[in-house]
Structure 1
Amino acid sequence: MQDPTLLLRDIHQPPAPPFWPPAPGWWLLAGAVLLVLGIVMGLRWKRARRRREIAAIFDNALDEAATPTAEVAAISQLLRRAARRIDPEADRLQGDAWLAFLDRPAGNTRRSRKASATDGGFGGAPGRLLLEGAFRPEVDPADVATLRSLARARFQQWMLDQ
């Protein structure tokens, strides 16, 4: 007969591990993801801050210009200074060679490209204003505003490339 003290029972599985707290590997993965996100966001913030600083340099220099003619002269000076970052000889270019240099595509500043009046770059009216506007007694403020936006974009591009 059976001994009543030796009562056998079925084998029971232990309960499943809880969802929280996660295992150490998940903590490491979450930490790595947060670190990468922090680095990416820090770099983006730093680049945006640099872009704002460069825009402020450009805008402050033009705000100091009393007349549209002085503004054109300031734009020319800023572009020539920024061009030295791309090519040390660029600030010595004159006329159409200077306008062609201004119209070269980004990342390909060494290769020559003909600027045309229809491409919306410096090869058209804004370029002519840049070449001759500082020497005119009067300049149309609307033309200067067009030149300013085009020159500001090129200035920022050159200053951020390096």
Structure 2
Amino acid sequence: MPTSTLPLRDIHLPDAISAWPPALGWWCVAVLIPVCIVLAVLLFKRLTRKTPVRVALALLKQIKQNAELSPQQKITELSILLRRVAISVSPVQEAASLTGDAWLHYLDSFLPSPLFSQGLGRCLADKPYQPANTESMNAQQLAELLTIVETWLNACAKSSKRRFNRV
């Protein structure tokens, strides 16, 4: 049998690899990239958000350093600051309508000891509403009051973190 008469076929190349459907890894990348972008944006917002307590601590620092304010004006500013923070971190019905002793007991609820209802913080119940010409606090008492307010703000930050983490 002669070798020249064999019926041989030409070499067949395989079909070109199709781009569709993509492999499983590409599907994972297509899903993970948007998820990572959304998580990065949420993390950035969480890290840079200004909580009411952070803003209040900055305002408290301004009140401390403002030498133009009289002690009476500083007490009024502290009272306003505490009320704003309380309304921000608590339900409005819980803190907005409180006055007098109820307000001071509410402030004490964030602290381990009653610094507002039985301590120097008691002046926040009535001094902001007295005329400016009445007797005022001395510098040491005002410094102690500023420390009490700062302690309350820090305690409020810790309790509001616990409250928001439960949600």
Tell me the TM-score normalized by structure 1. Answer: 0.53
Structure 2 residue 39 is matched with structure 1 residue 40: yes
Secondary structure, counterpart of 2:137 in structure 1: coil
- Distance in structure 2 (CA, Å) of the matches to 1:102 and 1:51: 22
In the alignment, which residue of structure 1 is the partner of 2:132? none
Q: RMSD of the TM alignment (CA)?
A: 4.3
Map 1:52-63 → 2, pairs under 5 A: 55-56=54-55, 58-60=57-59, 62-63=61-62
Q: Percent identity, please.
A: 22
**Which residue of structure 2 aligns with residue 30 of structure 1?**
29
**Moved >6 Å (runs of 4+):** none
- In the aligned structure 2, how far is the partner of 1:24 from the partner of 1:82? 54
Correspondence list, 1:66-81, <5 A: 66=69, 70-81=73-84
Residue matched to 1:130: 121
Tell me how many residue pairs correspond in the alignment. 133
Letter in 2 for 1:81: R
Shift of 1:32: 2.1
Query: How far, CA to CA, are the matches of 2:74 and 2:112 in structure 1?
Result: 16
Determine the C-alpha separation between the residues in 2 that align with 1:102 and 1:81.
12
- Of structures 1 and 2, the larger Rg is shown by 2
Shift of 1:3: 5.6
Q: Which range moved further: 66-75 or 40-49?
A: 66-75
Q: CA 1:43–1:90 in structure 2 vs 1: closer, same or farther (change >3 Å)?
A: same
Q: Secondary structure in 1 aligned to 2:79?
A: helix
Q: Which runs of 5+ in 1 are unaligned?
A: 7-13, 15-22, 104-114
Alignment of 1:1-162 (within 5 A): 23-51=22-50, 55-56=54-55, 58-60=57-59, 62-64=61-63, 65=66, 66=69, 70-85=73-88, 86-88=91-93, 90-102=95-107, 115=109, 121=111, 123-125=113-115, 128-132=119-123, 135=127, 136-138=136-138, 139-151=141-153, 154=156, 157=160
